[in-house]
A and B are shown apart, each in its own frame.
Chain A
Amino acid sequence: MTGRRLERNSGDTGKDEGFRKTQPEKRATEAEEAKAFEELLGEPLRGWDERIEPSVPHLLELEALVTRHREESGRKLWRDLFMLWLLGILVISGMILLYRWNVIAFAVLQALAVAGAVLFLAVSSRKNREAKREWTT
């Protein structure tokens, strides 16, 4: 884990300030940065903030949104669950038949399932990490 951190601090350009700071030093940096931010961006941001005029939807619109979205999500969920159960009956029956036909084949399939699942998890987790890094530069 530490290896990853050392290698991946893409934000660090030159100055090695992130590590080994004491608490008071950290707090001092924090205060200094807060001050710098305030001086540079405080006024401009607050000014802009005030000028932004969002078009807030009407309360009734939002109530309709909540109701509609809940219904849609509920419907989708039940539809997906239904398909899952259909698929489930097939798969489970298949596994049971396989077991009765040839226990060894069944065991092999189970082992393959674990291997396949772990492989999938490893690959997808690595892809996620890579996607994060790529974008993080």
Chain B
Amino acid sequence: MSTNELEASAQIRLAVRGDTKALASLLHDHYALLYKYMLKITMNKALAEDLVQETMLKAIERIGTFQAKAKFSTWLISIATRLYMDEMRRKGRERKWQSDEQALQAIRFEAAMSREEWPSALDALAGLPPDVRVPIMLKHYYGYSYEEIAQWLDIPLGTVRSRLHNGLSRLRKELNDDDGTQTGTK
């Protein structure tokens, strides 16, 4: 174990036992990762910020139950994912899509303002419903297992597989059809 890893696990143990500074330090170290994850799956800056805050509060509440062998980042991501799913479940369908479109526009606008490119692939990703987008990101970008995904989303393993399969077919179709033509949103 490198010194960094030793320090990290010592810190985790302190935090679990109730040390405020250790916990704050862990949250500080993982903030960026958590935020980036949240932004990628929500595609909504305001929502991402809110959920990151909520995740940290939840983490503060539950740190006592954290098992030091597990990875802290994984734990945070599991909390964040569940919060996002609960949030999506709570909002009415109409309201949700409206504010998501606006949020996506805001992100595209920001990218345009800073002269950064916004590939149409990301639009296609945003076009997926959350319950498909989240498993795809968790499995193929972050490398979590089917079991973990099934647990966090509270769905059976078979459903995880089928959502991944259908999501990717959809992406494939949308992006390969678009090859060459820069169509806007669907």
Q: Which residues of A contact B (CB under 8 A)?
A: 5, 8-9, 11-13, 15, 17-19, 26, 29, 33-34, 36-38, 40-41, 43-45, 47-49, 51-52, 54, 56-57, 59, 62-63, 65-67, 69-70, 73, 131-132, 135-136
Contact = CB atoms under 8 A, between A and B. Distances in A.
B152 interface: no
A41 B171 contact: yes
Given A34-B140, A40-B168, 16 more contacts: A5-B159, A9-B158, A15-B165, A33-B164, A41-B122, A41-B140, A44-B121, A45-B121, A52-B39, A54-B36, A59-B28, A62-B25, A66-B20, A69-B57, A135-B93, A136-B131
Interface residues on B, range: 35 or more
Given A12-B166, A33-B165, A135-B88, A52 B35 contact: yes
Contacts of A63: 20-21, 24
A69 B55 CA distance: 13
Contact of B36 (A38, A43, A52): A52
A92 B27 CA distance: 44
Contact of A62 (B28, B61, B89, B162): B28
B23 A66 contact: yes
B40 A45 contact: yes
Nearest to B114: A51
